[in-house]
A and B are shown apart, each in its own frame.
Chain A
């Protein structure tokens, strides 16, 4: 895959995606390994996840939580809503969303790491949730139709993409177009991510190891 030029730095996108996928395959398969970020229930507490959200959820999904924020703190998901979880990982946020929107709602979780998707699918089956599916794909090319979603959630994923405008453009495409006559609120983003407080030097932006660690 060709290099991608974003702003003033050059990255090989395939190499970056491979490195990220390798890291998160470990999070899926060996969550006890310990990473440069917190994971699992300790992370959920740090991010102020409510106990009732995790109640009854498969431990296999919780243990591989690797987000950086709390999308559910940004707005209440309502019964019947359609939600896309971008970079769903092992699916705990998707499962929480599926419970919140109920049987009349739908959730699509998207991730590029097969090991994470496999874990998410097993977790959904174990939880008995049928209003949810997981699709393999990239945030920059979401496998979701235009204007499908009421809400997009994502947690600790946008920072892993060099072309954030492409990812946000896809989110805009997938979110429902405004319909004032419907009385529905406008479609929205509820995102957990990161900020840096010191500017990242240009040469550091080309260092894949700094993207993943």
Chain B
């Protein structure tokens, strides 16, 4: 599961960056496009952070087993 956690963190980080830059606009068509993009960026990066926390918990668990 450790590679999955890292992969998720990377995917969410890149997605957030793309939303922040306005490169992708999936489900962001609205009158306040900028605010929308910031919301997507924040949510993606929070998810990336949580994926990293998940990775950390798994790393420690593996370390404890060894």
The reply to whether chain A is a binding partner of chain B is no
| B residues at A contact (CB < 8 Å) | none
List residues of A whose CB falls within 8 A of some B CB. none
